[in-house]
Amino acid sequence: MSASLLVRGASLLGDTTADVRVVEGVIAEIGPGLDADGIEPGDVVDGDGLVLLPGLVDLHTHLRQPGREDAETVRTGSCAAAAGGYTAVLAMANTSPVTDTAEAAEHVFDLGRAAGLVDVQPVGAVTKGLAGEELAELGLMHRSRAGVQVFSDDGKCVADPRVMRRALEYVRAFGGVVSQHAQDPSLAGPSACCHEGELSGRLGLPGWPGIAEEVIVARDVMLARHTGSRVHVAHASTAGTVEVIRWAKAQAEKDGHWSVTAEVTPHHLLLTTDLLAGYDPTFKVNPPLRPQEDVEALREALADGTIDAVATDHAPHARHDKEHAFVDAAFGMLGLETALSVVASVMVETGRMTWADLARVMSSTPAAIAGLGEQGRGLEVGAPANLVLVDPSADVTVDRDASLSLSRNNPWHGRQFGAAVRATYLRGQPTFGA
């Protein structure tokens, strides 16, 4: 397989039909009826009936390596990412050891390059050991070979406002961003595991109220404004969070010297808290699945740009951590392989967004937030050929046992979707399908 290919007759961003010629990993020509000179016959791809999008970029992936290679490795997670149409993923820092030094970040970066299926970009921890007290080596991680731009204690909230303020001040110097797992630890107590509401009462599960997210988001946007820095809201899950972000974006626009961005997960766009009625730990996740009103607000916010991006929060867990009584099971669910199908079904097939909008929220905007400029260039001549071919009229049923992830905590098992990834290319090299 060479890194040169010709994709014939696909609908670019779901719009115009054209051919795309890739030479040595770079988009060389876009137009109707391109000739196949110099392209091996096996490298001419029939795109008829398919939608061509730029490779997806995930701002929020847990790859588990180092430390929990029983749940996922950089290689298996990269395989799952490529199968989901991704060409870059940001690998969260809550590994063991934590990615809180330049060496740790370079290690994850190198594992990603060695796997070679997606660009693995490490996220650096905000605090040493995710303990929430002392800042990690933010500057050294940024200046390292890994070039860390995004910092997060994800899995834990940077709860101390003084620590958050200092982190924002620190990353401002080099244009970095702090991605916050917004969960006030005292409002959502230590055993909170389910949306606090009528259902949590009935099930007898400790509740995790939306306000525990919203107060942290409100605090953080004020800190970002005060410090003139950039804050990113990880996995936004409530209507109240959307309101705060909407207000904050309007202020940031007027002020001009700070910014807030936000992501939503595919599961928070479709699944609701009533799935917990069966006490199945597959549906246990942080933040918890919320009621339909929140889901509606998140969809609207994604469509109108209040929420900037979709991020998977792919969180693989080994059977022995997930198969427990609900209160004891680990938080998190798989997401890389199904994200495009879910977002297409909720947002595109319903007419809320176009394929071009989907490419914006799943590729160019997340690339911009993470400072991965080349990954965000999209379908233009001269851009790296990071491509995904999507079948918009597939009829697929998710099978957890067909997953390329090492884990099986798949909340989509048995669900049917109308769009599916057919092939993925990283700089012209096929990484899935094809």
Active site residues: 313
* Among the listed residues 72, 106, 119, 154, the single contact to ligand NCD using CB under 6 A: 154
Residue 76 or 429: which CB sits closer to ligand NCD?
Answer: 76
* Among the listed residues 54, 155, 210, 428, the single contact to ligand NCD using CB under 6 A: 155
Residue 313 or 321: which CB sits closer to Zn ion?
Answer: 313
Residue 91 or 379: which CB sits closer to Zn ion?
Answer: 91
At its nearest, how many Å lie between Zn ion and the CB of residue 423? 28
At its nearest, how many Å lie between ligand NCD and the CB of residue 238? 15
* Among the listed residues 72, 313, 321, 357, the single contact to Zn ion using CB under 5 A: 313
313 is in an annotated binding site: yes
Alpha-carbon torsion 41, 42, 44, 47, what sign? positive
Residue with tokens 């379908």: 379
332 is in an annotated binding site: yes
* Residue 188 within binding range of ligand NCD, rule CB under 6 A: no
317 is in an annotated binding site: yes
Residue 62 or 142: which CB sits closer to ligand NCD?
Answer: 62
Residue 19 or 154: which CB sits closer to Zn ion?
Answer: 154
285 binds, among Zn ion, ligand NCD, none (CB under 5 to 8 A by kind): ligand NCD
* Among the listed residues 5, 20, 61, 62, the single contact to ligand NCD using CB under 6 A: 62
331 binds, among Zn ion, ligand NCD, none (CB under 5 to 8 A by kind): ligand NCD
* Among the listed residues 181, 267, 299, 314, the single contact to Zn ion using CB under 5 A: 181
* Among the listed residues 58, 100, 213, 313, the single contact to ligand NCD using CB under 6 A: 313
* Among the listed residues 247, 279, 326, 331, the single contact to ligand NCD using CB under 6 A: 331
226-240 exposure pattern, b = at least 16 Cβ within 10 A, e = fewer: ebebbbbbbbbbbbb
385 contacts 1 by C-beta, under 8 angstroms: no
Give every strand in the sheet of 177-180, ordered side by side.
150-151, 177-180, 230-233, 259-264, 309-310
184 is in an annotated binding site: no
247 binds, among Zn ion, ligand NCD, none (CB under 5 to 8 A by kind): none
Alpha-carbon torsion 358, 331, 279, 291, what sign? negative
* Residue 285 within binding range of ligand NCD, rule CB under 6 A: yes
359 contacts 57 by C-beta, under 8 angstroms: no
At its nearest, how many Å lie between ligand NCD and the CB of residue 21? 40
* Among the listed residues 14, 332, 378, 384, the single contact to ligand NCD using CB under 6 A: 332
Query: How far is CA 238 from its chain centroid?
Result: 18
226 is in an annotated binding site: no
Query: Which residues between 87 and 106 bind ligand NCD (CB under 6 A)?
Result: 94
* Residue 268 within binding range of ligand NCD, rule CB under 6 A: no
Binding-residue pattern over the window 7 to 46 for ligand NCD, x denoting contact by CB under 6 A: ----------------------------------------
326 binds, among ligand NCD, Zn ion, none (CB under 5 to 8 A by kind): none
* Among the listed residues 154, 213, 214, 357, the single contact to Zn ion using CB under 5 A: 154
110 is in an annotated binding site: no
Residue nearest to Zn ion (CB): 181
At its nearest, how many Å lie between Zn ion and the CB of residue 100? 16
Question: What would the 3-class secondary structure string for the chain be?
Answer: CCCCEEEEEEEECCCCEEEEEEECCEEEEEECCCCCCCCCHHHEEECCCCEEEECEEEEEECCCCCCCCCCCCHHHHHHHHHHCCEEEEEECCCCCCCCCCHHHHHHHHHHHHHHCCCEEEECECCEHHHCCCCECCHHHHHHCCCCCCEECCCCCCCCCHHHHHHHHHHHHCCCCEEEECCCCCCCCCCCCCEECCHHHHHHCCCEECHHHHHHHHHHHHHHHHHHCCEEEECCCCCHHHHHHHHHHHHHHHHHCCCEEEEEECHHHHHCCHHHHHHCCHHHCCCCCCCCHHHHHHHHHHHHHCCCCEECCCECCCCHHHHCCCHHHCCCCECCCCCHHHHHHHHHHCCCCCCHHHHHHHHHHHHHHHCCCHHHHCCCCCCCECCEEEEECCCCEECCHHHCCCCCCCCCCCCCEECCEEEEEEECCEEEEEC
Q: Which residues bind Zn ion (CB under 5 A)?
A: 154, 181, 313
Query: Which residues are annotated as part of the binding site for Zn(2+)?
Result: 60, 62, 154, 181, 235, 313
Q: Which residues bind ligand NCD (CB under 6 A)?
A: 62, 94, 154-155, 181, 285-286, 313, 315, 331-332
Query: Which residues are annotated as part of the binding site?
Result: 60, 62-64, 94, 154, 181, 235, 286, 313, 317, 331-332
